[in-house]
Structure 1
């Protein structure tokens, strides 16, 4: 977790007990975020999926933009929002769009892809920290990947809608 690692690097050993508190902030935001975004999914369906893609641009930028605890606290809050949305809305979409006879496999595929994505993103951001990539390059990477993800989501949504149109 980039936020927790960044806290480790800026805190002196006698105050590193704060690191688990940052994780607690993430989880305290995650739980209500999952509840509210699940409710929003029930009302707005797949349109709500764009929101976590947009908000997920904020935590890595805040984390890598400045080495201070206030930025990391805000990054933790936004990460908790995104995590809660992903935990509820993405899974709700899988259950809605996968046929019942394929639902278990669909969840397996989703969770495998999600895990691989988390692994790759952790490696990329770890490399950025190690190589001390300038923040403008980090911002460019974050915004570009999220815009690409939003475009792919919209294309998949439009394709699905086109296939469901009865002529």
Structure 2
């Protein structure tokens, strides 16, 4: 996943007036907030790996909608899917870190996780910006969908290898 700034740029490119662009992040965060609790409850009962994979499927859908959307209303649907992805995955990732870390190293584990996440976001956003400048907005979001698809494959490959 790359920076949410690209969502604002895409909505603006798709015809959303500049004065309304803050609503892009408002819409994303409202969906994120509404989705976080129910998906957090699901994480208490279901496979974290499967929930993470479904969250990535939603991110792929968001990326495809944002790639094909040439009207601001379509872009807004992509933004809302992006918020749903965030609600599905961000609390789940924190849970996975907490479950994987020894109790006496949880603070360190969260620090390392947030450092790695920040660095990954920097690299992803740099690549997204390059793709946008070089090939256009649609290609940026298609690229995000490809990376998410590869991630799903890697998650399930790791699960398969772990079972063997």
TM-score norm. by structure 2 comes to 0.83
Kept in 2: contact 1:25–1:76 (CA 8 A): yes
Q: Name the CA shift for 1:130/1:150 in 2 (closer, same or farther; >3 Å).
A: same
Q: Is 1:116 the counterpart of 2:119 in the alignment?
A: yes
Unaligned runs of 5+ in 2: none
Q: CA deviation at 1:148?
A: 2.1
Q: Tell me, what secondary structure is at the counterpart of 1:67? A: coil
Residues 143 and 25 (structure 1), Cα distance of their counterparts in 2 relative to 1, 3 Å cut:
closer
Partners of 1:104 and 1:156 in 2: CA distance? 26
Task: Confirm whether residue 63 of structure 1 aligns to residue 66 of structure 2.
Answer: yes
What do residues 60-79 of structure 1 show as CA deviations (whole Å, max 9, x unaligned)?
A: 32223233101211111111
Structure 1 counterpart of 2:100: 97
Q: 1:40 is matched with which residue?
A: 42
Cα distance in 2, alignment partners of residues 158 and 152 from structure 1: 10
1:6 Cα offset (Å): 1.8
Coordinate RMSD, CA, aligned: 2.4
TM-score by length of structure 1 reads 0.81
User: What residue number does 1:7 align with?
Assistant: 11
Residue in 2 aligned with 1:165? none
**1:129 maps to what in 2?**
132
Pair 124,59 (structure 1): closer, same or farther in 2 beyond 3 Å: farther
> Post-superposition shift, 1:158?
4.6
In 1, the alpha carbon distance for the partners of 2:161 and 2:102 equals: 17
Match of 1:26 in 2: 28
Check whether the contact 2:34–2:87 (CA below 8 A) recurs between aligned residues: yes
2:83 aligns with: 80
Any unmatched runs of 5+ in structure 1?
163-167
Greater Rg over alpha carbons, structure: 1
